[in-house]
């Protein structure tokens, strides 16, 4: 007999969160930081179970979450990460710091799965040389692969920018230099965000956005910035703060740089949690040239080749 669900208790509220509840949760986390979720409902007076609080925070209220449409680049990245990692949404989300695993999972289930299926069917019916394409059904194999390489290159650049690998002299001199503090786990993001002052501004944005939605009669005062219009540096700026920015010495008290590595590199490093040299991750995921990934229980495939997976 298993443990009874935490939400079975009498009086535990379920369903959509109200702005008041969000504010209670956010103000509590601002003061105490995320974690120790068990005590959150008692300390805040929220009639929610701890899991619900954690989920609300990580999937909606946490700073640095980008909402709105996925860009083509994100889309293709998800497709390839899914091909590499399978349905390990948390692992995939760690490479898209502004998206939650829930978002990516939803997007996969509602959009990409269908899209790929359509592509595959089109491929069977039309020409075997056609490749799955997220936004252009008639793209040739060569075009598709070139575009993919561009995406990977751009993602690599953006990730580098986000992590200040090239521009941050403090980090360049630190012992962390050779370790990539990414993929960023949600727990890391949660922990680190507390140590960096000023980051909660984003949190306020989330709340404001939420309230905006609730005040149905009021017209939107300012249009939400579209994902497409944001530059790579802007889009990753919040994560930059999370992983340790130059403006504060947040790298000191921030989360450790120990990485959960949900990758084929596991075997190489001998454990599921490993510190991984930057060069390895970069080669693994973001090498401009096509790299062969030696999988452990995963398919051996070339980055950019999803043909054997669907």
Partner DNA sequence: AAACCCCTCAACCGCACCACC
Partner DNA sequence: CGGTGGTGCGGTTGAGGGGTT
Kindly indicate which of the ranges 14-22, 131-139, 241-249, 282-290 contains the residues binding DNA, using the contact rule CB under 7 A.
Answer: 14-22
Q: Binding of DNA at residue 113 (CB under 7 A)?
A: no
Instruction: List, in sequence order, every residue forming a beta bridge with 274; answer none if it has no partner.
Output: 259
DSSP state, residue 198: T
Judged by CB under 7 A, the chain residues 82 through 111 that form the site for DNA are: 87-91, 101-103, 105-107, 109-111
How many residues at the interface with DNA, by CB under 7 A? Answer: 45
Query: With contact defined as beta carbons under 8 Å apart, do 83 and 98 qualify?
Result: no
Binds DNA by CB under 7 A, chosen from 182, 185, 192, 202: 185
When the beta carbons of 23 and 154 are compared against DNA, the nearer one is: 23
Q: Record the tokens describing residue 259, joined without a space.
A: 């990485």
Q: Which two tokens stand for residue 113?
A: 């799965």
Phi and psi for 259 in degrees, rounded to 5?
-110, 135
Stretch that binds DNA, among 185-193, 239-247, 250-258, 286-294 (CB under 7 A): 185-193
Instruction: Write down the H helix ranges in the chain.
Output: 19-32, 40-44, 50-56, 72-85, 89-93, 101-107, 113-125, 141-163, 169-173, 186-195, 200-214, 232-235, 237-244, 250-253, 266-269, 278-281
Q: Which stretch binds DNA (CB under 7 A): 15-23, 145-153, 226-234, 290-298?
A: 15-23
> Smaller CB distance to DNA: residue 15 or 169?
15
* Helix axis angle, 72-85 to 141-163, nearest 10°: 90
User: Please, what is the minimum distance in Å from the beta carbon of residue 56 to DNA?
Assistant: 5
Q: Which among 59-67, 199-207, 221-229, 247-255 is the span making contact with DNA, rule CB under 7 A?
A: 59-67
User: Does residue 91 sit in helix, strand or coil?
Assistant: helix
* 260 sits in which H/E element: strand 259-260
Binding positions for DNA, 261-280, rule CB under 7 A = 272
In the complex, least distance from residue 106 CB atom to DNA, rounded to whole angstroms? 4
For DNA, the binding residues (CB under 7 A) are: 2-3, 5-7, 13-17, 35-38, 48, 50-52, 54-56, 58-60, 67, 87-91, 101-103, 105-107, 109-111, 185-187, 190, 260, 272
């Amino acid at each position: 007999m298993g443990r009874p669900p935490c939400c079975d208790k009498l009086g535990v509220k379920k369903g959509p969160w109200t702005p008041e509840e969000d504010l209670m949760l956010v103000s509590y986390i601002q003061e105490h930081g995320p974690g120790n979720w068990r005590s959150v409902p008692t300390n805040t007076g929220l009639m929610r179970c701890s899991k619900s609080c954690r989920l609300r925070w990580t999937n909606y209220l946490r700073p640095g979450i980008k909402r709105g449409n996925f860009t083509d680049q994100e889309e293709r990245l998800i497709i390839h990460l899914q091909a590499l990692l399978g349905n390990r949404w948390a692992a995939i989300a760690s490479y898209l710091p502004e998206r939650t695993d829930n978002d990516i999972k939803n997007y996969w289930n509602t959009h990409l799965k269908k899209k790929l299926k359509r592509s595959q069917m089109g491929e069977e019916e039309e020409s075997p040389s056609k490749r799955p394409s997220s936004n252009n059904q008639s793209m040739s194999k060569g075009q598709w692969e070139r575009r993919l390489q561009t995406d990977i290159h751009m993602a690599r650049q953006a990730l580098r920018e986000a992590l200040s690998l090239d521009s941050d002299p403090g980090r360049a001199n630190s012992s962390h230099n050779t370790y990539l503090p990414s993929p960023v786990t949600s727990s890391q993001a949660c922990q680190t965000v507390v140590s960096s002052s000023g980051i909660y501004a984003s949190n306020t944005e989330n709340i404001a956005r939420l309230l905006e939605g609730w005040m149905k009669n009021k017209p939107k005062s300012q249009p939400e910035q579209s994902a497409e219009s944001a530059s790579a540096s802007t889009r990753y700026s919040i994560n930059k703060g999370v992983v340790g920015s130059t403006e504060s010495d947040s790298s000191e008290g921030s989360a450790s740089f120990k990485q959960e590595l949900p990758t084929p590199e596991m075997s190489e490093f001998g454990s599921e949690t490993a510190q991984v040299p930057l060069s390895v991750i970069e080669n693994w995921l973001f090498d401009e040239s096509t790299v062969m990934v030696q999988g452990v229980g995963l398919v051996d495939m070339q980055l950019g080749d999803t043909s054997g997976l669907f």
